[in-house]
Structure 1
Amino acid sequence: MSFCLTGSAAVAFMSYNTMENLLKPDFFNTSKDTVKTMMSTVISATLPKTTNTKLTKPVNFTLKHIRFDPSGSLFCVYWNISEWIVDGCSVLKTNSSCTVCSCDHLSTFALIMQTSRHDSLMELLNLVCVIVGLVFFSLALLTFALCQWSPGVNNVARINICISLLLAHLLFLIIITVSHGLQVLCAVISGLLHFLFLSGFVWMFIEAVLLFICVKNLSQLSSINRAVLSREFLCVIGYVVALVVVAVSVVMDPNGYGSEMCWIKIDKGFISSFLGPVCMILTSNTILFIKIVITLNSTLKNLNSDVSQIKQTKIMVFKTLAQFVVLGCSWILGFFTNGSKVLEILFLIVNSQQGTFIFLIYCVFNNEVRQQYRKFFRCLCSGQKQH
């Protein structure tokens, strides 16, 4: 190695702006069939006046990303005759804009990202599920708005769950169709999705609390209904909590939104601004759901042999079990989908159909609503016959 009198050595770095078109990322051979993307320009590092490329200590260098925020696995690679390889190189740290590589020799380097190949069937299933979910969210909202409900029925949480998730589904359609590559639009959409999903989960928690109070049949219900469970108070809780979380997240890291998939960036722990509140709500809703089932079970044991009462209770049990999805508890599956295609498909289908379950439980299986449906269709048919 060529040292100067002070004991240091000069290293020359050269950057090639279009070399990635020749030394393509597809020359990076891996055991898995993945999509390879060049994430940096190709650079070379050499020691002048020597042919020795081995180093006594690893050299660290930073490569700036030339593409969108990375969403796959990053590899620091070097060119070896006819292919990119990783021997002697590793990723020290990375963020949304650059990656620090460490290599034990000098060569021609680059940064390559590996991502799983897009599954066209899964993308089609995702699109179909989102559209079906949109249809049933819309039907549920129309039913809540147009049908007459008993004075004791409180649909405020269900209506707002439908509104939040309906808008989130619409944004997903925008992501699928037009938003890729538009960084500003992606950042705005990811921020809106953050707010809508959080507000949806907060409303699921409110629905769980209301259902628990209903099942327990608390004597204080009539007295606290106006003061604590008023529609205005619930709306403040349902939307302000989510708005505060998103506002704090924006202040803490304004660049935390707008990943390649138009979602929250996962670096620097920013994703915890979503997963933290969601995990707390899922835990609370699961506990409330278990308590509701236990309460109903004890109620069943204390029933007399009144057939109609037993029938009504069975309907209530069925609706409570279906609430597992409505309350968002099935989102827990998302923590176990890694590596399991079956769980991934189940998670996609079940959680995209919360509107379907809401429509079935509170509209189709509601006798009063069914009677209003029949009346509406009879009027519609008679009107057509007159014409």
Structure 2
Amino acid sequence: MSEGEVASAVDVLLQSMETAVLATARRSPERMTQSVTTESMAVQTWLVTGDCSQDSEVFRLSAHRETMDAHCNTVTGAATQAGLTAVAVFISYSTLGSIINRRLLSQGNPPAGGTLGNSHLNSRVVSGAFGGRRHIHLSRPAKFTLYHSQDIQTKEESLCVYWKFVDGEGTWSRDGCTVLHVNSTHTTCSCDHLSSFALRMAPTAVTESYTLTVITYVALTLSLLCLLFAILTFLLCRSIRNVSTSIHLQLCLCLFLADLLFLTAVTRTSSRVACAAIAGFLQYLFLACFTWMFLEGLHLFLTIRNPKVENYTSAGRFKKRYMYPFGYGFPALVVVISAVLNPEGYGSPQYCWLSQEKGFHWSFLGPVCVIILINAAFFLLILCILRNKHTSLRDHRLLTFKAIAQLFILGCPWIFALLKVGPAATVMEYLFTISYSLQGAFIFLVHCLLNRQVREEYQRWIKSVRTFGTKSQTYDVSMSTVRTADTKMIRGPLLCSNTSL
């Protein structure tokens, strides 16, 4: 058979199956739902027996693993237009997709529109029908969940398409269909009409904004340098060593490692196991940052509420017994529980991060939101305490304001990430990228450059470097003078001996 004959046969098959299944469902009015599964297809039907009085009522039909969600009143409306009983059918074909892949997706028959050329199907072919007509327009879109036949490659884009047969030619069209969600296992589509649907993988990857890419790499590199300077400062400045700087040091270490891993490995999705491991480490390191921020808020609250607490915290008991086990143990516990509950949630076709399927990304955002709320409560209580202690805790007031600034710095990017939906998604993407990429620079500014003791230590370092440079220059000049004097002492006797000769 030629490709045109195969396309005609496929179209006849699809129409015939929909008509036959609709007729069969109507012949059994006593059965509200019916399901049939064979080697070549799976079918489920639903007969509307109510009046769909609830405007928001949604039903779901399943065949194989694929599903179709639609509003009840769209079914009754389609049946009213056709003058038939309100019934919906959903069909999933087991092998039809492979036949179309072999015969109808060759280079000699590119699909209409051009953008789908050189692509392939990556799901079963499914059909949805209401009433008695095909390609009926729906007052509310239907939602289809289609599972991937193969893993999505890094440079592939998942497209929702429907079967379109016009003038003896069968093509796949994207008109009226949009992608709602994509993850490693399936894609969810929304279509404003009914037909036969599938997923096609376009070989062109979804390209990111060049501006965002430049901002990310430049700002993250700057942040890494600033975090490195901050780490060296907290390690080498003995005059500022205390519990607070120990917490700042651990926070900077975790954020430095997280930024470095994010910059170098977040897009390495070629190996699924390695990508999942990268996502797990990123979740752990970012959670550790927020955990240390929580410990800083707790330490400040305890110190300001009772200044005597500082006597034993600085001695190290608080730090050794509670800080390090909790600071690094709590994030590890969250990651372990998350990995046990949903090991498939780590990694995606685009990035090595947490999947949004089944709300799995809340295994990170949930603890983050809780920590932000707790620290906000701590700081409100601290500010209330400081209002009555204007002079005795002046340094603590400065530390508190710096801690609040740090909470704002670390928390804002993830708030912007939650708001990346709808028309403001692009703006929030830029705000997230800028605020996240400059976290290290802001922390260095707040905890180092705005710290009087650190500035004084920097000045001493600079003076010692200059003094060392001056001494080395003086030493070089003195050595050259010595060499000149020695030369003269040697030349004098030689001249005298030459004269006597």
Fold match by TM threshold 0.5: yes
Q: Distance in 1 between matches of 2:219 and 2:397?
A: 30
Give yes or no for contact 1:282–1:329 (8 Å, CA) kept in 2: no
Give yes or no for contact 1:55–1:105 (8 Å, CA) kept in 2: yes
Q: How does 1:356-375 map to 2 (within 5 A)?
A: 356-375=441-460
Q: How does 1:1-387 map to 2 (within 5 A)?
A: 1=16, 13-14=95-96, 15=98, 16-17=100-101, 22=107, 27=113, 40-41=121-122, 54=134, 63-68=147-152, 75-81=160-166, 84-85=173-174, 96-99=184-187, 107=196, 109-111=198-200, 117-150=207-240, 152-175=242-265, 179-223=268-312, 229-259=318-348, 260-300=350-390, 303=391, 315=398, 319-325=402-408, 328=411, 331-338=414-421, 339=424, 341-385=426-470, 386-387=472-473
- What secondary structure is seen at the aligned counterpart in 2 of 1:96? coil
Q: Distance in 1 between matches of 2:261 and 2:233?
A: 23
Q: Distance in 2 between matches of 1:376 and 1:163?
A: 23
Describe the shift of the 1:54–1:343 C-alpha distance in structure 2 as closer, same or farther (beyond 3 A): closer
1:49 aligns with: none
Give yes or no for contact 2:179–2:189 (8 Å, CA) kept in 1: yes
Q: Distance in 1 between matches of 2:340 and 2:260?
A: 26
Once the two structures are superposed, what CA deviation does each residue of 1:32-70 show, in whole Å capped at 9, x if it has no partner?
A: xxx999684376689xxxxx99599x9x99542434389
- What secondary structure is seen at the aligned counterpart in 2 of 1:265? coil
Give yes or no for contact 2:159–2:174 (8 Å, CA) kept in 1: no
Give yes or no for contact 1:40–1:64 (8 Å, CA) kept in 2: no
Q: Distance in 1 between matches of 2:145 and 2:416?
A: 40
User: What is the CA-CA distance between 1:147 and the residue it aligns to?
Assistant: 1.2
- What secondary structure is seen at the aligned counterpart in 2 of 1:229? helix
Q: Distance in 1 between matches of 2:320 and 2:413?
A: 27
Q: Unmatched 5+ residue regions in structure 2?
A: 1-15, 25-35, 42-92, 137-141, 474-501
Q: Which moved more, 1:62-71 or 1:285-294?
A: 62-71
User: What is the CA-CA distance between 1:161 and the residue it aligns to?
Assistant: 0.8
Quick one: percent identity of the two aligned structures? 28
User: What is the CA-CA distance between 1:251 and the residue it aligns to?
Assistant: 1.4
Describe the shift of the 1:93–1:354 C-alpha distance in structure 2 as closer, same or farther (beyond 3 A): closer
User: What is the CA-CA distance between 1:168 and the residue it aligns to?
Assistant: 0.7
Q: Unmatched 5+ residue regions in structure 1?
A: 30-34, 47-51
Describe the shift of the 1:74–1:369 C-alpha distance in structure 2 as closer, same or farther (beyond 3 A): same
User: What is the CA-CA distance between 1:366 and the residue it aligns to?
Assistant: 2.6
- What secondary structure is seen at the aligned counterpart in 2 of 1:376? helix
Q: Distance in 1 between matches of 2:454 and 2:180?
A: 61
Q: Distance in 2 between matches of 1:267 and 1:69?
A: 18
Describe the shift of the 1:355–1:84 C-alpha distance in structure 2 as closer, same or farther (beyond 3 A): same
Give yes or no for contact 1:207–1:327 (8 Å, CA) kept in 2: no
- What secondary structure is seen at the aligned counterpart in 2 of 1:149? helix
2:77 aligns with: none
Give yes or no for contact 1:36–1:112 (8 Å, CA) kept in 2: no
Q: Distance in 1 between matches of 2:414 and 2:125?
A: 47
- What secondary structure is seen at the aligned counterpart in 1 of 2:466? helix
Q: Distance in 2 between matches of 1:226 and 1:233?
A: 13
Describe the shift of the 1:79–1:170 C-alpha distance in structure 2 as closer, same or farther (beyond 3 A): farther
Larger relative contact order (CA 8 Å, sep ≥ 6): 1
Letter of the 1:208 counterpart: G
Once the two structures are superposed, what CA deviation does each residue of 1:302-331 show, in whole Å capped at 9, x if it has no partner?
A: x59xxxx97x68855753553343564664
User: What is the CA-CA distance between 1:128 and the residue it aligns to?
Assistant: 1.2
Describe the shift of the 1:149–1:344 C-alpha distance in structure 2 as closer, same or farther (beyond 3 A): farther
Q: Distance in 1 between matches of 2:322 and 2:236?
A: 23
Once the two structures are superposed, what CA deviation does each residue of 1:206-237 show, in whole Å capped at 9, x if it has no partner?
A: 11112223343444443566686223521110
Q: Distance in 2 between matches of 1:102 and 1:321?
A: 43
Q: Which moved more, 1:145-154 or 1:103-112?
A: 103-112
User: What is the CA-CA distance between 1:97 and the residue it aligns to?
Assistant: 1.9
- What secondary structure is seen at the aligned counterpart in 1 of 2:352? coil
Once the two structures are superposed, what CA deviation does each residue of 1:144-195 show, in whole Å capped at 9, x if it has no partner?
A: 111113465532211111111111111112136x714333321111111011
Q: Distance in 1 between matches of 2:398 and 2:210?
A: 40
Matched residues, number: 365
Q: Distance in 2 between matches of 1:350 and 1:92?
A: 27
Give yes or no for contact 1:40–1:63 (8 Å, CA) kept in 2: no
Q: Distance in 2 between matches of 1:185 and 1:246?
A: 16
- What secondary structure is seen at the aligned counterpart in 2 of 1:66? coil
Q: Distance in 1 between matches of 2:314 and 2:362?
A: 34
- What secondary structure is seen at the aligned counterpart in 2 of 1:68? coil
C-alpha RMSD of matched pairs (Å): 4.5
Give yes or no for contact 1:17–1:41 (8 Å, CA) kept in 2: no
TM-score, normalised by the number of residues in structure 1: 0.75
User: What is the CA-CA distance between 1:285 and the residue it aligns to?
Assistant: 1.7
Describe the shift of the 1:139–1:100 C-alpha distance in structure 2 as closer, same or farther (beyond 3 A): closer
